[in-house]
């Protein structure tokens, strides 16, 4: 089971982080403190479609497949998301992800479309070779 598989669709988990530490005050008994907090940070999010053409300083990418089976992350959307930063060191991947995302061959439809485009490219070059 993947993290988040048991979470209902439309909900985003926010986990509570707890830590304990001891405060020592001179001439007083030590105090044990339990600190609880939710790890939240202000951020701006957008889709891979929205991010096309943008260059960002820091990128945090979620490559995990969404629990909704109607939508899937494709190699193309992953490429767009991962290539938005100026520096490789500033790209951070949020969760573990299925590495087969990058080894899945293109679909037959995409291969056919690429073939059509290559044919049109050759025809255009021959047509305008004299220019």
Token reading at 54: 């943008």
- pLDDT(1) > 60: no
Is the predicted pLDDT of residue 10 greater than 90, yes or no?
Answer: no
Q: Which residue has the tokens 């790890």?
A: 39
Q: 3-state SS string over 78-101?
A: HHHHHCCECCHHHEEECCCCCHHH
| pLDDT reported for residue 125 | 95
Would you list the domain boundaries of the chain? 44-127
* φ, ψ of residue 121 in degrees (nearest 5): -65, -45
Question: How do 91-93 and 59-61 pair as beta strands?
Answer: parallel
pLDDT surpasses 60 at 75:
yes
Q: Per-residue pLDDT tens for 98-131?
A: 888 888 888 899 999 999 999 999 999 999 988 8
pLDDT per residue as tens digits for the range 14-36: 888 999 999 999 999 999 999 99
What is the distance between the alpha carbons of residues 30 and 28, in angstroms, rounded to a whole number?
Answer: 6
Most confident of the ranges 36-45, 58-67, 87-96:
87-96
- Give the model's confidence band at 6: pLDDT under 50 very low, under 70 low, under 90 confident, else very high: confident
The whole-number average pLDDT for the span 63-81 is 83
pLDDT of residue 74: 86
Query: Locate tokens 């907090």: which residue?
Result: 37
How many angstroms separate the CA atoms of 25 and 33, rounded? Answer: 13
| Predicted pLDDT at 66 | 79
Whole-angstrom Cα distance, residue 50 to residue 56?
A: 12
């Amino acid at each position: 089971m993947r993290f988040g598989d048991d979470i209902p669709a439309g909900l985003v988990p926010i986990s509570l982080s707890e830590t304990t530490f001891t405060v020592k005050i001179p001439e007083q008994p030590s105090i044990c403190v339990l600190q609880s907090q939710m790890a939240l940070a202000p951020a701006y999010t957008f889709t891979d479609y929205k991010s096309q053409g943008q260059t960002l300083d820091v990128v945090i990418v979620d490559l995990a497949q969404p629990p909704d089976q109607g939508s899937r992350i494709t190699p193309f959307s992953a490429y767009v998301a991962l290539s938005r930063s100026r520096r490789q060191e500033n790209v951070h991947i949020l969760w573990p992800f299925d590495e087969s995302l990058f080894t899945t061959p293109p679909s037959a439809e995409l291969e056919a479309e690429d073939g059509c485009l290559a044919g049109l490219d050759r025809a255009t070059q021959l047509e305008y070779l004299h220019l």
